[in-house]
Amino acid sequence: MRRIFLVLFAIVTLTACAPSGGILVSNDARGLGGSLFIEQATDGQQFLVLDGPITPETSFVFQAIVEQADVQGLVITQSPGGDLLAAHQIGRTIKRERMNTLVLVNCISACVDIFVAGKNREMTDMAELGLHSATNRDVSYQLDRKYWREMGFPTINEKAYRVPNDRLWIMDAQRARELRVATRVIS
């Protein structure tokens, strides 16, 4: 399988027309669309970054990248969440492919659905997760309940659904580690 850096050659047209748009990605990050970017570390390694809202386009671009390259994981700089079904599609792919996830700053709402799918789920010591019930409780609750069971965290989902959708249950990195939502906290 090809490494993530080969994606740049395979999707050059997407990269060329995608706006940067991210809040916490560098000016050199290559926008792929759907709040996804490729960043390059100082040692030359490249990594896939989610920086912004989750949309159906995010899922589409993510799926295309995974089909074309050996993606080891997803770095989440910050995301306010977004489309629940798109997050579930991304999460199921992450789980199936045994990818790792890392949150640098914050991961809110549907973003947490992506984060919990990781094989190794790391958070920086300053990172936070934000959970709450979905806007459309009747439909979303059943979808979320099934999804969070698949991911192995049914009790976390039940607690999240006790929080009204206009509020947040903020979980810092240490608490996420205690609840085993995060596998490791890094400094």
What is the residue-level pLDDT of the chain in tens, covering all 187 positions? 334 333 333 233 333 334 456 788 888 899 999 999 999 888 888 899 999 999 999 999 999 999 998 899 999 999 999 999 999 999 999 999 999 999 999 999 999 999 999 999 999 999 999 999 887 767 677 888 899 999 999 899 889 888 988 899 999 999 999 999 999 999 8
The whole domain housing 39 covers 4-132+169-178
- 76: CB partners within 8 A, 6+ apart: 49, 50, 51, 101, 102, 103, 104, 107, 111, 114, 115
Structurally, the chain folds into a number of domains equal to 1
For residue 163, how many C-alpha atoms fall within 13 Å in the half-sphere facing its CB?
18
Q: Tell me, yes or no, whether 111 lies in a domain.
A: yes
Q: Tell me, yes or no, whether 141 lies in a domain.
A: no
Q: Report the alpha-carbon distance of residue 34 to residue 21 in Å, rounded.
A: 10
Q: Tell me, yes or no, whether 71 lies in a domain.
A: yes
Q: Tell me, yes or no, whether 34 lies in a domain.
A: yes
Do 112 and 131 touch, CB atoms closer than 8 A?
yes
Q: Tell me, yes or no, whether 143 lies in a domain.
A: no
Task: Return the H-helix or E-strand segment holding 182.
Answer: none
- Nearest of 12, 11, 62 to residue 36 by alpha carbon: 62
- Supply the pTM of this predicted model: 0.86
Q: Output phi, psi for 166, to 5 deg.
A: -100, 10
Q: Report the alpha-carbon distance of residue 26 to residue 8 in Å, rounded.
A: 17
Q: Tell me, yes or no, whether 150 lies in a domain.
A: no
The domain that contains 90 carries what CATH number? 3.90.226
Total residues belonging to the chain: 187
Q: At what angle do helices 137-151 and 84-96 cross, to 10 degrees?
A: 10
Q: Tell me, yes or no, whether 160 lies in a domain.
A: no
Helix (H, G, I), strand (E, B) or coil at 113: helix
Do 58 and 89 touch, CB atoms closer than 8 A?
no
Token pair 């050659």 is found at: 9
Q: Tell me, yes or no, whether 173 lies in a domain.
A: yes
